[in-house]
Amino acid sequence: MLEVRVVPNEITDNAAISACEKGSQVQWQLALNSVRLMPDVRLVPNEITYSAAISSCGKGGQWQLALNLLSLMPAVRLVPNEITYIVAVSACENGGQWQLALSLLSLMPDVRVVPNVITYNAPISACKKAGQWQLALDLLSHMPAARVVPNEITYNAAISACEQSYEIERGLQLLWESKERGGSLSVGLTE
């Protein structure tokens, strides 16, 4: 851009950082480097910048770096928002860090971020991967109190958690519960 005398701005940098997470190979290193270099070209990273970089790190399997970026936001006077927490929780889920995913979910109301179905789905999926079927079902049962409506992804993850732990009867109960709510699932419980 500079060679053709086009001045980069926050939008172009955020787009470039977001592009780092796309494609066949996640370029989380480039995303981090872009965030680090923004002040050198007189650009100020914002919530979108950090969300894109956190997502890139998470998709690249760098959950520690994703959480580090999240923790750095207050130091640069940025308040993490719903999207920032969604990508951070997803980074923990991708890294198999179900405890951290649960911690982030529980921290959200303290920082005035309202959890949604996506921020519940990632920890439920992480619990499923870790064989923590009881915690997955606990999360599902807490969603109505948080005024969050479970969707097909929520039920699929919870049912799969039951299946993996040979809690087939509980999985079937969830299947019927989702059907009563009008859901359509594509799970196959073993007999």
Burial of 171 (0-12, 13-18, 19+ CB in 10 A): buried
Residue 189: predicted pLDDT: 45
Mean pLDDT of 76-85: 92
Mean pLDDT of 73-81: 92
Mean pLDDT of 97-122: 90
Give 148's pLDDT tier (boundaries 50, 70, 90).
Answer: very high
Residue 182: predicted pLDDT: 66
User: Looking at per-residue confidence, does 147 or 164 come out higher?
Assistant: 147
Mean pLDDT of 23-27: 68
Count CA atoms closer than 13 A to 18's CA, side-chain side. Answer: 12
Estimate the crossing angle of helix 47-59 against helix 10-19, to 10 degrees: 10
**Mean pLDDT taken over the chain:** 84
How far is it, in rounded angstroms, from Cα 113 to Cα 85? 8
Percentage of the chain modeled with pLDDT above 70: 90
Mean pLDDT of 63-67: 95
Task: Give residues with Cβ within 8 angstroms of 179, minimum separation 6.
Answer: 185
| Tens-place pLDDT, residues 123-139 | 998 888 888 889 999 99
The answer to whether residue 58 scores a pLDDT higher than 80 is yes
CA distances to 44, 70, 78, 144 from 8, rounded to whole Å, are 12, 24, 21, 45
